[in-house]
């Protein structure tokens, strides 16, 4: 299997991706809270609790199908390395993480001073985990409109790499999902992503997509969210 596959799909918490690839289901949730001045916070949660029994068994092994399975100590060390890099990133503050090895849930969060700093969050993780996150995903904020933009470009080589994975292993992605929630201080006037929904209170956009849809390019993460003035 190609370890870079999920690294290109998601923009946080890659350190236990080896276990994800061998689990029956997992969820990656990304929550962004934006303030009017363009600052905010981001929290990424990787949840393998639905497969915790299987993951616990896997982590007792060193390798499975050629994939190195990280120990708890390795996972913790990699997370601490990522946190150290983020703390040294301009515009990033209040970096925190948690690792729950009972339910296999990992979280990583921080505050960002501007959308440029939010992009640096992705850039730092790209360098840390040698993943090309920023080549297909970036954010922009237009305070005058006001509008929040997520730029996203599908990378065809993701599908090519996925095709190299045995069919039995590809089926493991059937119950894997990526969820993105973006909250604002102002109400949302409009948003352009057909797969996303505006919350009932009108100040958040919710997008939940199957991992397979991101792999084959049938769903885009691009969105322009226009807020009320």
Alpha carbon distance 8, 6 (integer Å): 5
For 164-188, write each residue's pLDDT tens digit: 777 776 776 778 888 999 999 999 9
Highest mean pLDDT among 15-19, 65-69, 121-125, 144-148: 144-148
Question: What is the pLDDT confidence band of residue 228, given thresholds at 50, 70 and 90?
Answer: very high
Kindly give the interhelix angle for 115-129 and 72-87, rounded to the nearest 10 degrees: 140
Alpha carbon distance 174, 170 (integer Å): 8
Alpha carbon distance 84, 229 (integer Å): 38
Find out whether 203 and 185 touch, Cβ atoms under 8 Å: yes
Q: What is the pTM of this model?
A: 0.85
Alpha carbon distance 153, 40 (integer Å): 24
List Cα–Cα distances, 202 to 18, 186, 205, in angstroms: 38, 8, 8
Find out whether 226 and 169 touch, Cβ atoms under 8 Å: no
Instruction: Please give the tally of structural domains in the chain.
Output: 1
pLDDT at position 2: 30
**Least confident residue range of 21-35, 53-67, 87-101:** 53-67
Question: What is the pLDDT confidence band of residue 84, given thresholds at 50, 70 and 90?
Answer: very high
Alpha carbon distance 38, 202 (integer Å): 19
| Two structure tokens written together for 214 | 């991101």
Domain region containing 110: 4-227
Alpha carbon distance 179, 110 (integer Å): 18
pLDDT at 137 > cutoff 90: no
Alpha carbon distance 188, 12 (integer Å): 26
């Amino acid at each position: 299997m190609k370890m870079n596959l999920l690294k290109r799909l998601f923009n946080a918490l890659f350190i236990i991706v080896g276990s994800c690839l061998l689990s029956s289901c997992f969820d990656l949730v990304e929550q962004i809270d934006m303030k009017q001045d363009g600052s905010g916070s981001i929290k990424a949660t990787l949840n393998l609790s639905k497969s915790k029994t299987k993951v616990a068994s896997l982590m007792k092994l060193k390798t499975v199908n050629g994939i190195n399975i990280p120990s708890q100590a390795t996972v913790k060390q990699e997370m601490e390395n990522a946190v150290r890099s983020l703390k040294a990133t301009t515009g990033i503050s209040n970096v925190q993480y948690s690792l729950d090895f009972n339910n296999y849930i990992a979280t990583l969060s921080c505050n960002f001073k501007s959308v440029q700093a939010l992009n640096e969050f992705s850039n730092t993780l790209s360098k840390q985990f040698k993943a090309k996150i920023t080549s297909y995903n970036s954010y922009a904020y237009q305070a005058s409109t006001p509008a929040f933009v997520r730029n996203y470009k599908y990378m065809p080589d993701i599908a090519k790499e996925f095709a190299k994975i045995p069919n039995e292993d590809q089926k493991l992605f059937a119950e894997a999902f990526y969820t993105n929630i973006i909250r604002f201080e102002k109400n949302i006037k409009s948003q352009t992503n057909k797969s996303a929904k505006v919350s009932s209170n009108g100040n958040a956009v919710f997008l939940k997509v199957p991992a397979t849809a991101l792999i084959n390019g049938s769903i885009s993460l691009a969105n322009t969210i226009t807020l009320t003035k």
